[in-house]
Every structure is written in C-alpha cells, then in structure tokens.
Amino acid sequence: MERKQELAQVLAGIQQVRNNHDLLQVVRLLDLMYEDAKDALVSVPRDEYEAAQAKARTILQIRNKLSQPSMAEAQAPYRKPLNTGE
C-alpha cells in the first residue's frame, strides 16, 4: 500500500507542475519515442512484433500519466457554479 500512496503523491506533484518547461520537454521526448516505436512496428520481424507493440504501448501510457489532467481539472467543466445569491 505504501508504494501506491507514493505513486499517487508523485503523480499529484507532476500534475501540479504539468506546464513546467522541463516536464513538457520530457513529454515531447516521449512523443518522439512513441513515434519511433510505432514506425518500428512496420519493419520488425513477426516474432518480435508483440514486444515492439508492448514497448509502444508502455511509452504512450507513461506519456499519458505525465500529461493527463487531475480529476478535479477533468471534472471542472461539468461542475455547476456555486449559488452566490445574485
């Protein structure tokens, strides 16, 4: 359980600084790595295809974890504004 809590804390910290230049560079690097991994799927031998596909999927999942909005940010457009008495 300790690892899950640490993972949640790290992801929360990343979400807070998601628009940081350094983090955006990492996300861009992952985008490029994902494109390379997708391109490799075309030329990889048949017996290595599943491993190459798993690599591409893993890179994409890491990229999404770094760039996804927090739950509050994702739900913000659907929340009703508080009644301020106006």
**Which mean pLDDT values do the consecutive 10-residue runs of the chain (86 residues) have?**
88 83 92 96 94 96 85 76 60
pLDDT value of residue 28: 95
pLDDT value of residue 57: 97
pTM over 0.75: no
pLDDT value of residue 80: 72
Q: How many CA atoms lie within 13 A of 30 on its CB side?
A: 18
- What are the sequence ranges of the domains in the chain? 20-69
Count CB neighbours of 34 within 10 A. Answer: 19
- Contact criterion met (CB below 8 Å) for 84 and 45: no
pLDDT value of residue 69: 75
- For residue 16, give both structure tokens: 């807070």
Measured in degrees and rounded to the nearest 5, phi and psi for residue 7 equal: -60, -45
